[in-house]
């Protein structure tokens, strides 16, 4: 009997392809060619599953043109590349890759916070440029992490990981804002207090964004929100491009309305707003918060487990639109 056909949309670990090949006829993209939507649709003809990485847009237009497709397995916890309503309407399951990246991503959020508040990237560029002639009392003075107030917007698993690092490791006072309040036990574990968004922005020394991207969270931070922040504050975005109005942020950084920002995600990435590239008080990284080898392997494994789970055993592990699984 011939195996079901799946497509892997981007280059991935060879062992991931090997695992898939045990169950499926696999077409891969190990050359990591940038496929247009039309090319992706062409490649998906006859495929029942696709391994996506978070960059491939799965919408009604694509689904209409790919009638064989049954599942899209994202190797990412975020799935704003999926139009989940259209997928559900087409009977196509989406899966994501939660949990396996939580601690690694929280580590990175903290690393970016430290690098930003303590001006590590800016001072390294200064040194590499041969500009370090003498010690000076105020050279690259940043702001403290320990004992400061950490404001987290989006208190899911990654937000909680950052809260625990801040509270337990650095003695920070942790405040958070979220669509729903955590239960008391979880708040105690994270040593975090729930506050309104405005209070958080006004009182936090460091604001970390970890909310999923949805139309409702678009520009959660724009000029008006930045205006509420302390002039000494730092802003960290490890959530998604579009959560921050990057143009407004670049203006605020240039005018020192806040001290600094650390950004791992960007509106329209991999393009970066040109003004962000010229302001000194921002640390920019190319969407790498989950990028350690073990974590990226675990994410890829979970996407494979979802494809095998659904297409072979009828049981996906981490569906994002479980309505597709409901008995008809």
| Interface residue list for ligand GLV (CB under 6 A) | 54, 76-78, 101, 290
Per-residue burial over 109-139, b = 16 or more CB atoms within 10 Å of its CB, e = otherwise = bbbbbbbbbbbbbbbeeeeeeeeeeeeeeee
Burial (CB count within 10 angstroms: exposed 0-12, middle 13-18, buried 19+), residue 190: buried
User: With respect to ligand GLV, which residue has the nearer C-beta, 76 or 117?
Assistant: 76
- Nearest distance from C-beta of residue 141 to ligand GLV, angstroms: 32
User: With respect to ligand GLV, which residue has the nearer C-beta, 93 or 172?
Assistant: 93
287 given a catalytic annotation: yes
Task: Please state, in angstroms and rounded to a whole number, the distance separating the CA atoms of residues 322 and 53.
Answer: 20
- Nearest distance from C-beta of residue 128 to ligand GLV, angstroms: 29
Of 19, 119, 287, 296, the catalytic one is 287
Q: What are residue 209's DSSP bridge partners? A: 153, 237
- Nearest distance from C-beta of residue 102 to ligand GLV, angstroms: 10
Task: Please state, in angstroms and rounded to a whole number, the distance separating the CA atoms of residues 101 and 240.
Answer: 15
240 given a catalytic annotation: yes
- Nearest distance from C-beta of residue 75 to ligand GLV, angstroms: 8
Q: Which two tokens stand for residue 310?
A: 């659904």
57 given a catalytic annotation: no
- Nearest distance from C-beta of residue 293 to ligand GLV, angstroms: 15
Task: Please state, in angstroms and rounded to a whole number, the distance separating the CA atoms of residues 164 and 109.
Answer: 12
User: With respect to ligand GLV, which residue has the nearer C-beta, 213 or 233?
Assistant: 213
Contact of 317 with 82, CB cutoff 8 Å: no
How close are the terminal C-alpha atoms of the chain, in Å?
28
User: With respect to ligand GLV, which residue has the nearer C-beta, 101 or 221?
Assistant: 101
Segments in 191-269 forming alpha helices (H): 197-203, 223-228, 246-254
- Nearest distance from C-beta of residue 156 to ligand GLV, angstroms: 11
Contact of 75 with 300, CB cutoff 8 Å: yes
Task: Centre a 10 Å sphere on the Cβ of residue 253 and count the other Cβ atoms it contains.
Answer: 22
CA–chain centroid gap for 202, Å, is 25
User: With respect to ligand GLV, which residue has the nearer C-beta, 46 or 78?
Assistant: 78
Of 240, 267, 273, 296, the catalytic one is 240
User: With respect to ligand GLV, which residue has the nearer C-beta, 4 or 78?
Assistant: 78
Task: Please state, in angstroms and rounded to a whole number, the distance separating the CA atoms of residues 310 and 124.
Answer: 48
Q: Which residue is nearest to ligand GLV (CB)?
A: 78
DSSP 35-51: --HHHHHHHTTT-SEEE
Contact of 90 with 327, CB cutoff 8 Å: no
Catalytic residue ranges: 240, 269, 287
């Amino acid at each position: 009997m011939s195996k079901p056909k799946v497509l892997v949309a981007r280059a991935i670990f060879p062992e991931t392809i090997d695992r898939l090949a045990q169950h499926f006829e696999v077409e891969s993209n190990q050359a990591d060619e940038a496929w247009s939507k039309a090319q992706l649709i062409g490649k998906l003809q006859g495929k029942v599953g696709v391994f996506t990485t978070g960059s491939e847009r799965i919408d009604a237009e694509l689904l209409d043109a790919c009638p064989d497709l049954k599942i899209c397995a994202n190797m990412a916890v975020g799935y704003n590349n999926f139009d989940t309503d259209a997928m559900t309407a087409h009977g196509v399951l989406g899966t994501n890759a939660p949990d396996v990246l939580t601690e690694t991503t929280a580590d990175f959020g903290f690393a970016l916070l430290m690098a930003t508040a303590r001006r590590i990237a800016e001072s390294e560029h200064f040194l590499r440029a041969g500009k370090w002639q003498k010690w000076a009392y105020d050279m690259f003075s940043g702001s403290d992490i320990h004992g400061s107030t950490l404001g987290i917007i989006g208190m899911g698993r990654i937000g909680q990981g950052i809260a625990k690092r801040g509270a337990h490791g650095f003695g920070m006072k942790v405040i958070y804002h979220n669509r729903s309040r955590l239960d008391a036990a979880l708040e105690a574990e994270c040593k975090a207090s729930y506050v309104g968004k405005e209070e958080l922005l006004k009182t936090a020394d460091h604001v970390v964004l970890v909310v999923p991207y949805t139309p409702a969270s678009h520009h959660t931070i724009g000029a008006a929100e930045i205006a509420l922040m302390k002039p000494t504050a730092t802003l960290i975005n490890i959530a998604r491009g579009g959560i921050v109005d990057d143009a407004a942020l670049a203006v605020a950084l240039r005018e020192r309305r806040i001290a600094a920002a650390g950004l791992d995600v960007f509106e329209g990435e991999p393009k970066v707003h040109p003004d962000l590239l010229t302001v000194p008080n921002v640390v920019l990284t190319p969407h790498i918060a989950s990028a350690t080898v073990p974590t990226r392997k675990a994410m890829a494994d979970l996407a494979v487990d979802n494809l095998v789970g659904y297409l072979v055993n009828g049981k996906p592990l981490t569906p994002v639109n479980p309505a597709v699984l409901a008995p008809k």
